[in-house]
């Protein structure tokens, strides 16, 4: 017993100095997600509740995320791909299946955000936030209705237009205008829309995905085709910024939480997903980033003004379509847009 007491005391001393051959470390989760999309309050709250610290690394496109994920080896524990990228990652076997019994808060998701076409059975992804890409107009400057892509790119708005800096988005608008499905990207269809795209792009003043609110607020442009969260912020700023879904139809994007197959801290990732789905936590995300919240219980906590924001929760949103993985055709889009944007 004396020997044991001495050893125990010795180990206590070693723990203070560094531990009996072991170092005490704070658990970490490496989150790789879109920039300015996860509120700091959420990250801090997760650490306070679980003791797990979050290292938040950002990317600006799904393609950038894919490149870094493919070249890393277990570097990331949780990623935030959009719908078509989830589909691509599933095809490549790069995602870890989710155990829904460990994510009970997934029951808070609205029915329309379960079992989605890009992840049948919802085996690999949990929706984080959704949104649309539509037309925002400064009604102090533009009095006539702007209801369609063709309206938005009218010659009378030459040099007054802002668009998101996203090649696939832009191509999808021309496809829709020509009555072609936004995922029907073939050489023939790209050739068909090329003259229309060339005309439209010649009228664009600003390409901006990161901060389209700036040029709109300053009056540098009078009309934009932007992500709904940015349009919602503009509407909160001034009701003169009106948002409309194009008559031809619109892209509904759905950003998700997924765990890479080679993630080193999968338990921590699962805990973060479940934490994000708490209604009061999900509300914080909506407060900061007013996209369309897929969490039905969180929506009950939102104010009337939030729910009536026409960009966050657009009326008449029947003609929405998600992007699907188009494989090598994405390179054809890049080649076409590089040629037209010279």
CATH number of the domain that residue 176 is part of? 3.40.190.10
Give the Å distances, CA to CA, from 66 to 33, 37, 79, 289.
11, 18, 10, 24
Confidence (pLDDT) at 36: 87
Together in a domain, 73 and 125: yes
Domain membership flag for residue 184: yes
Task: Report the domain count for the chain.
Answer: 2
Note whether 198 and 333 are same-domain residues.
yes
Query: What pLDDT, on the 0 to 100 scale, is given for residue 19?
Result: 45
Q: Which helix H or strand E contains 89, and what residues bound it?
A: helix 83-91
* 97/104 Cα distance (integer angstroms): 15
pLDDT at 317: 84
CA atoms within 13 A on the CB side of 277: 24
To the nearest 10°, report the CA torsion of 160, 197, 195, 157: -10
Same domain, 74 and 191: no
Asked if 43 and 117 sit in the same domain, the reply is yes
| Distance of alpha carbon 233 from alpha carbon 39, whole angstroms | 16
> What pLDDT, on the 0 to 100 scale, is given for residue 18?
44
Q: How far apart are CA 112 and CA 115, in angstroms?
A: 8
Q: Find the Cα–Cα–Cα–Cα dihedral 180, 184, 188, 189, rounded to 10°.
A: 30
Residue stretches of the chain with pLDDT short of 70: 1-24
Instruction: For residues 57 and 11, give the distance between their C-alpha atoms in angstroms, rounded to a whole number.
Output: 37
Phi first, then psi: give them for residue 252, nearest 5 degrees: -100, 115
Task: Note the pLDDT of residue 258.
Answer: 98
In whole angstroms, give the CA distance from residue 15 to residue 23. Answer: 8
Closest CA to 58 of 86, 28, 79, 75: 79
Residue 123 has a pLDDT of 98
Residue range of the domain that includes 248 = 131-252+316-340
Does residue 219 lie in a domain region? yes
Between CA 205 and CA 216 the distance in angstroms is 12
Do the domain assignments include residue 54? yes
- Angstrom distance (rounded) from CA 215 to CA 197: 23
The answer to whether the beta carbons of residues 182 and 251 sit under 8 Å apart is: yes
**2 is a domain residue:** no
Same structural domain, 216 and 281: no
pTM of the model: 0.90
In a domain, 269, yes or no: yes
> Is residue 4 situated within a structural domain?
no
Query: Has residue 1 been placed in a domain?
Result: no
Measured CA to CA, the distance from residue 88 to residue 69 in angstroms comes to 13
């Amino acid at each position: 017993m004396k020997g044991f007491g001495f050893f125990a005391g010795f180990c206590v001393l070693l723990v203070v100095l560094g531990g009996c051959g072991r170092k005490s470390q704070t658990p970490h989760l490496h989150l790789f997600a879109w920039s300015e999309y996860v509120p700091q309050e959420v990250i801090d709250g997760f650490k306070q509740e679980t003791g797990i610290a979050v290292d938040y690394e950002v990317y600006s496109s799904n393609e950038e995320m894919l490149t870094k994920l493919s070249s890393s080896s277990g570097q990331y524990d949780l990623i935030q791909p959009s719908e078509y990228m989830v589909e691509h990652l599933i095809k490549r076997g790069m995602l870890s299946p989710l155990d829904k019994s460990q994510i009970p808060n997934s029951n808070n998701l609205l029915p329309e955000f379960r079992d989605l076409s890009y992840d049948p059975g919802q085996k690999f992804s949990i929706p984080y936030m959704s949104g649309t890409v539509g037309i925002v107009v400064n009604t102090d400057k533009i009095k006539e209705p702007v209801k369609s892509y063709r309206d938005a790119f009218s010659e009378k708005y030459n040099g007054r237009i802002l668009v998101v800096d996203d090649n696939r988005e832009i191509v999808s608008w021309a496809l829709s205008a020509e009555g072609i499905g936004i995922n029907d990207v073939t050489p023939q269809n790209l050739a068909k829309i090329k003259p229309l795209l060339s005309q439209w792009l010649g009228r664009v003043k600003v390409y901006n995905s990161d901060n389209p609110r700036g040029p709109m607020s300053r009056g540098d442009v009078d009309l934009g085709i932007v992500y709904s969260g940015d349009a919602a912020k503009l509407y909160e700023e001034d009701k003169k910024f009106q948002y409309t879904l194009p008559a031809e139809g619109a892209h509904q994007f759905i950003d998700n939480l997924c765990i890479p197959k080679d993630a080193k801290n999968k338990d921590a990732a699962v805990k973060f997903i479940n934490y994000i789905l708490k209604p009061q936590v999900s509300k914080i995300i909506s407060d900061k980033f007013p996209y369309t919240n897929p969490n039905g219980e969180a929506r009950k906590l939102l104010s009337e003004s939030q729910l009536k924001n026409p960009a966050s929760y657009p009326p008449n949103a029947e003609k929405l379509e998600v992007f699907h993985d188009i494989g090598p055709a994405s390179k054809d889009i890049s080649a076409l847009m590089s040629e037209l944007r010279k």
